[in-house]
Amino acid sequence: MSESNTETGTIDRYGVMGYPVSHSRSPVIHRLFALQTRENIQYELLQVSPEKLETAVRQFQRTGGKGLNITVPHKTEITKLCDHLSERATTAGAVNTLAFRGGEVYGDNTDGIGLLRDLAVNLGIAVEGARILILGAGGATRGIVGPLLEMQPTSLIIANRSLDRAEELAAHFSQSGTVTACRFEAVSIAEKYDLIINATSAGVKGEMPPYPAAAISDSTFCYDLSYGLKPTPFSVWAREAGAARSVMGWGMLVEQAAESFRIWRGVRPDTAAVLKQMSIAA
Ligand code: ATR
């Protein structure tokens, strides 16, 4: 936990490193958190290419930076620079939050808890006992499978364009619960899914994979980890396929940010207020 700097008047530096990163909403969210909690921080957008990642992180740390969010495409690579990894970062094999403490780099992953809090607290969706289908088997999926399994869903299936990546992830998490893998075309529709999560990056690239529409029933809740000012292709597709509800990942974005803020500042902001402000901004 960092010491309060409000009395000394110094400003602690944070930021988000990604490539590209100009679209990131994290500076807005952390500014709102800082105003709300009266924490004296500044938060920068840092566009850093993969080959410059290590130099940029070390320089940020050397010049007094207190912590960083790490985003696409650096979340896996950054684990190598961490002196300590939290259990959830180790399970995910990915880091989205760095804290610099006493010259050491502490890595954590708040994506999974961010999603769980959005589902449970903001949206009232039960994960316990749910039949879950995750579309995609990249870094985003890796970050959320462990926390989802901890909530003991009835089943969790990872469907992906390339079967080998889905199988690799299913094997990685096999000790934490029953996870199965398949291609989009092979998703079983014998049982209805309670929760379908889009964790592919297809929509961001303007592509529309052959998602299994028959997996959606009128009791299926669809969640897109991606978000935008306009409905994402997945959220439109899910609504048209008859989902009970289809939402984008704004809530997860704000919740994972709040958890990073708590790690850095020792205080958890009120996310409901910020979510409201964000949707007004959207
Ligand atoms: P990461 O670095 O996190 O792996 P990525 O390579 O963009 O990010 O891929 C994330 C996920 O989106 C993967 O599951 C990827 O499918 P593959 O493993 O088959 O590559 C998926 N994805 C990206 N574009 C896609 C598309 N056009 N159709 C289907 N899946 C796609």
For the chain, the DSSP string reads -PPP-TTTT--EEEEEEESS-TT--HHHHHHHHHHHHT--EEEEEEE--GGGHHHHHHHHHHTT--EEEE-TT-TTGGGGG-SEE-HHHHHHT--SEEEEETTEEEEE--HHHHHHHIIIIIS----TT-EEEEE--SHHHHHHHHHHHHT--SEEEEE-SSHHHHHHHHHHTTTTS-EEEE-GGG---SS--SEEEE--STGGGT------GGG--TT-EEEES---SSPPHHHHHHHHTT-SEEEETHHHHHHHHHHHHHHHHS----HHHHHHHHHHH-
pLDDT of residue 120: 97
Q: Could you tell me the distance, in angstroms and rounded to a whole number, from the CA of residue 255 to the centre of ligand 1? A: 24
What is the Cα–Cα distance from 272 to 251, expressed in whole angstroms?
Answer: 9
The pLDDT value recorded for residue 2 is 46
- The whole-angstrom separation of Cα 121 and Cα 45 is 29
Q: Where are the domains of the chain?
A: 12-109+252-277, 112-248
Ligand 1 mean position to 167 CA, how many Å?
14
Dist CA 170 CA 191 (whole Å)? 20
- Is 112-248 the same fold as 12-109+252-277? yes
CATH topology for 12-109+252-277 is Rossmann fold (3.40.50)
User: Residue 176's pLDDT is what?
Assistant: 75
The alpha carbon of residue 56 and the mean position of all alpha carbons in its chain are separated, in whole angstroms, by: 22
Instruction: Report the C-alpha gap between 122 and 274 in whole angstroms.
Output: 12
Query: What separation in Å is there between the alpha carbon of 199 and the centre of ligand 1?
Result: 8
For residue 104, what are its two tokens?
A: 């050491």
Backbone phi, then psi, for 279, in 5-degree steps?
Answer: -70, -25
Q: Is 75 a catalytic residue?
A: yes
Kindly give, in sequence order, each residue whose CB lies less than 8 Å from that of residue 246, ignoring residues fewer than 6 positions away.
222, 223, 224, 235, 236, 238, 239
Mutation to probe ligand 1, out of 160, 164, 224 (largest number of atoms < 8 A from CB): 160
Q: Are 238 and 222 in contact (CB under 8 A)?
A: yes
- pLDDT 10s digit of each residue in the chain, 282 long? 445 576 667 899 999 999 999 989 999 999 999 999 999 999 999 999 999 999 999 999 999 999 999 999 999 999 999 999 999 999 999 999 999 999 999 999 999 999 999 999 999 999 999 999 999 999 899 999 999 999 999 999 999 999 999 999 999 998 877 899 999 999 999 888 999 999 999 988 889 999 999 999 999 999 999 998 899 999 999 999 999 999 999 999 999 999 999 999 999 999 999 998 886 544
What atom in ligand 1 is closest to the CA of residue 209?
A: 28
Sequence-distant (≥ 6) Cβ neighbours of residue 245 within 8 angstroms: 221, 222
Superfamily of chain region 112-248: NAD(P)-binding Rossmann-like Domain (3.40.50.720)
Q: Which of 75, 192, 205, 230 is catalytic?
A: 75
Q: What is the pLDDT at residue 281?
A: 45
Name beta bridge partners: 105: 100
CB 187 within 8 A of CB 216: no
- Structure token digits, residue 125: 């969706």
Q: What is the pLDDT of residue 4?
A: 57
- Judge residue 238's burial from the number of C-beta atoms within 10 Å of its C-beta, 0-12 exposed, 13-18 middle, 19 or more buried: buried
CB neighbour burial string for 166-197, b if at least 16 within 10 angstroms, e if fewer = bbebbebbeeebebebbebeebeeeeebbbbb
pLDDT value of residue 251: 96
Within 6 A (CB) of ligand 1 lie: 73, 136-140, 160-162, 165, 200-202, 205, 207, 209
